[in-house]
Amino acid sequence: MKDLVKRYGLMLTSYMVIASLVWIVLLVILPYFMMVNYSFRPNLVAADIGGPMDHYTISNYVTLFQNQVHFHVFLNTIWGGAMVTFICLCVCYPIAYHLAKVATPQRAAFLLLLLVIPFWINEILRTFAWFIILAYQGPLNAFLKFFHIIDKPIRYLSGNGAVMVGMVYAFILFMVFPIYNAMESMDKNQVEAARDLGAPTWRIHWRVVMPHAKPGIAVGCIMTFMLAVSSYAVPSILGSTNSRWFTEIIYQWFFEGQNWPQGSAYAFILLLLCIIFILVMMRVFKVGLTDIAK
């Protein structure tokens, strides 16, 4: 705080602190507090709110484990989010390494621009573009049939495959940039020294590059997983009845079923899942909050 006062002055520092507190309290703490409060209450009509039937209960949480369909969707969402995170890591790691340590600054800037430009378009429009590409009579099937790779069109939109493709494309930047930022600070001489000592490429990455990039990998995995499991637009557009996402059920409780307590309980369970995943990633990569904040 003293450093901030010295740098920006008392008035500007006070303004930044107050603005941050207002932001955190009104847009983070208070909404979550209301959601948790809703999740422990029964779904009542307006006339019964505040009456003898209005009491705290855990029935909204028990519903998830009693409803086998919802519980299966919840597990499928965890698995799908983990798979999207793993695929993004496999795709983005070599891209980030090439941008940070192989490409020239001019080439790296050009490639980063190519990665960023598609994201100037709204996510829903990009998802609908994938819907057209992966449609039964879409251009992908037409291309594969033209070159006689397939005999008949494939229904890409009937399972989790299309959802994962759309999510990997939608969240690829959230994996690339943290890893790229972590690798960029690494001394290239470390890689050259390991290569001069006879280490193969895979060992150089396992023993030199990846340990240095651990904070970036952890941040990328955390952000990608949280965005994947909490996504609604991608699974609702590219998914089917066989690939429902937990967020779709939350949406149905809130807006179709008008059961806000049940929807709040499901939303809070999803929040707990994200918190647990953050703690697991920090434990797996052996990084702390200060490492992630860098």
Tell me the residue range of the domain where 273 lies.
Answer: 62-293
Q: What is the DSSP letter of 185?
A: T
Instruction: Answer whether 228's CB lies under 8 Å from 81's CB.
Output: yes
135 within domain boundaries? yes
pLDDT in tens, 59-80: 999 999 999 999 999 999 999 9
In a domain, 19, yes or no: no
Asked if the structure places residue 69 within a domain, the reply is yes
Q: For residue 48, give the DSSP letter.
A: G
Which residues lie below 8 Å from residue 200, measured CB to CB, with a gap of 6+?
none
Integer CA distances (angstroms), 161 to 130, 131, 146, 167, 234, in order? 12, 12, 22, 10, 12
pLDDT at 1: 65
Q: What DSSP letter does each residue of 86-131 carry, written as one string?
A: HHHHHHHHHHHHIIIIIS-HHHHHHHHHHHHGGGGS-HHHHHHHHH
CATH of the domain at 282: 1.10.3720.10
Domain contains 241: yes
pLDDT tens column, 24-47: 898 888 988 999 998 999 888 777
Tally of structural domains, the chain: 1
- Per-residue pLDDT, 294: 62
Give me the count of residues in the chain: 294
CA distance 264 to 40: 9
pLDDT at res. 293: 62
CB neighbour burial string for 63-84, b if at least 16 within 10 angstroms, e if fewer: bbeeeeebeebbebbbebbbbb
Helices (H) and strands (E) in the chain, counts: 17, 0
- Token pair listed for 69: 């369909």
Q: Which residues of 8-35 are buried (b: 16+ CB within 10 A; e: fewer)?
A: eeeeebeeeeeeeeeeeeeeeeeeeeeb
pTM of the model as a whole: 0.87
The one-letter amino acid code at 37 reads: N
Residue 54 lies in a domain: no
Residue 11 lies in a domain: no
Residue from 84, 87, 98, 88 nearest 205 by CA: 98
Whether residue 169 contacts residue 152, with contact meaning beta carbons closer than 8 Å, is answered with: no
Distance CA 270, CA 247 (A): 9
Measured CA to CA, the distance from residue 138 to residue 167 in angstroms comes to 19
Sorted by sequence, the CB contacts under 8 Å of residue 110 that are 6+ apart come out as none
Residue 56 lies in a domain: no
pLDDT in tens, the chain (294 residues): 677 677 777 788 888 888 889 988 988 889 889 999 989 998 887 777 777 878 888 999 999 999 999 999 999 999 999 999 999 999 999 999 999 988 888 999 999 999 899 888 888 899 999 999 999 888 999 999 888 888 888 888 887 889 999 999 999 999 999 999 999 888 888 888 888 888 888 898 888 999 889 999 999 999 999 999 999 989 999 987 778 899 999 999 998 888 999 999 999 999 999 999 988 988 888 877 776 666
What's the confidence (pLDDT) of residue 266? 95
Assess contact for 80 and 239: CB atoms under 8 A: no
For CA atoms 76, 274, 232, 92, the dihedral sign is negative
Q: Is residue 48 part of a domain?
A: no
